[in-house]
Amino acid sequence: MRQLVKNETLFVLLSAILITSILVMPFIGDISQAQTVNTNALIVSHQPVKIGYKGRPLSITAHINDETGIRNVSLVVNYGGNSKTGNIPELTAEGIVPVLAQVTRDTKVYSGASTRNKVKGKVYAGEILNVTKVKDGFYRIITDGGLNGYVTSTDLRTQKTGKAFGVSIPATMTSEPFITYQIVATDMTGNTAKTKVNKVTLYTQEELAAMRTPGNAPTPTAVSGDETEAAPASSSKLWLLAGLAAVGGGAYYIISQQSDDDDKDKNLPATVDVTIEWE
């Protein structure tokens, strides 16, 4: 009788182990495959351009990892009812650049590449950040939650490196109130990675000057997804000044959504000195 009970118990245990193995193994395979894919994934780290000068060239840059080799990086621009696609060349002078970095300790995110700039927020040990620029010992970063700014490079550990790519959209395409663009990268194995479609609102010098004058600012458009909505006139000055980091005499980049963005990047060229050939 005891032997029968033992045999039945052993049978139940073996059955349970077998069933568990059958159920769990596919998930283990999926996890392993996902980790492999993530390790070799093509990554485009890009700081979206939100505002620019109407009728002037507009710079677009990105850091892209090249572990499997980059076959092509292209830019799709939609303007005034037209659509153009062209190649974005590598900025060879930049050399090897960080693409992803992990935070090594809790640290502050600044509005510019200096600890004298205002603090926009914090990132925490273990977080993985996209790196879009290197400047004066700082990395310009973007978190998954949308926080962007500058972090001291000593508080980050580079996870993936790659190359910098950049190009200038010509002035002939920036005469409309806005344009949209998307970066598409393809590696040697045929995998692709895309940024979201970004909208750039374009202003004349007079409009930008008016926005800096209290009480005289026109109502700008605030981008929300793929749609636009009117921003309150009373907030227009802060909305502009908070979001702009001037690229000496040329395009504007969104760096902050606060009124403490002190980084003006005055030493940078107005545009990336590379033209684009359109299809």
Task: Dump the DSSP string for 5-42.
Answer: HHHHHHHHHHHHHHHHHHHHHHHHHHHHHHHHHHHH--
**How much is the average pLDDT of 232-252?**
35
Q: For residue 42, what are its two tokens?
A: 């093509």
Q: Are residues 68 and 33 in contact, defined by beta-carbon separation less than 8 angstroms?
A: no
For the chain, strand residue ranges (E) read 44-45, 51-53, 58-65, 70-79, 82-87, 96-103, 107-110, 119-123, 128-135, 138-142, 148-152, 156-169, 178-187, 192-194, 198-203, 221-224, 227-230, 244-246, 252-254
**Is residue 258's pLDDT more than 70?**
no
Query: Rounded distance, CA 198 to CA 191, Å?
Result: 21
**One-letter amino acid for residue 183 of the chain:** I
pLDDT at residue number 266? 36
Burial, 173: exposed, middle or buried (Cβ in 10 Å; 0-12, 13-18, 19+)? buried
pLDDT at residue number 208? 82
**One-letter amino acid for residue 209 of the chain:** A
Q: Are residues 155 and 98 in contact, defined by beta-carbon separation less than 8 angstroms?
A: no
**Is residue 137's pLDDT more than 90?**
yes
pLDDT at residue number 261? 43
Predicted confidence band at 224 (pLDDT cuts at 50, 70, 90)? very low
Of residues 7 and 130, more confidence is placed in 130
**Is residue 6's pLDDT more than 60?**
no
**Is residue 221's pLDDT more than 50?**
no
Q: Are residues 257 and 65 in contact, defined by beta-carbon separation less than 8 angstroms?
A: no
Q: Are residues 192 and 184 in contact, defined by beta-carbon separation less than 8 angstroms?
A: yes
**One-letter amino acid for residue 126 of the chain:** G
pLDDT at residue number 277? 61
CA distances from 130 to 21, 44, 62, 159 (A): 38, 8, 10, 10
pLDDT at residue number 87? 94
pLDDT at residue number 67? 81
Range in 33-47, 160-174, 247-261 with the lowest mean pLDDT? 247-261
String of DSSP letters for 94-115: G-EEEEEEEESS-EEEESSSST
Predicted confidence band at 231 (pLDDT cuts at 50, 70, 90)? very low
pLDDT at residue number 247? 32
**How much is the average pLDDT of 176-180?**
96
Predicted confidence band at 165 (pLDDT cuts at 50, 70, 90)? very high
Mean pLDDT of the chain: 75
Among 194, 215, 214, 208, smallest CA distance to 252 is for 208
Pairing of strands 156-169, 70-79: unpaired
**How much is the average pLDDT of 20-24?**
48
Predicted confidence band at 88 (pLDDT cuts at 50, 70, 90)? very high
pLDDT at residue number 17? 58
**How much is the average pLDDT of 235-263?**
34
Query: Rounded distance, CA 148 to CA 140, Å?
Result: 7
Of residues 248 and 165, more confidence is placed in 165
Query: Rounded distance, CA 13 to CA 218, Å?
Result: 75
CA distances from 65 to 6, 90, 164 (A): 59, 12, 9
Query: What digits encode the pLDDT tens for the residues 41-70?
Result: 899 999 999 999 999 999 999 999 988 799
Of residues 268 and 220, more confidence is placed in 220
**Is residue 77's pLDDT more than 90?**
yes
pLDDT at residue number 120? 96
Query: Rounded distance, CA 100 to CA 159, Å?
Result: 5
pLDDT at residue number 162? 95
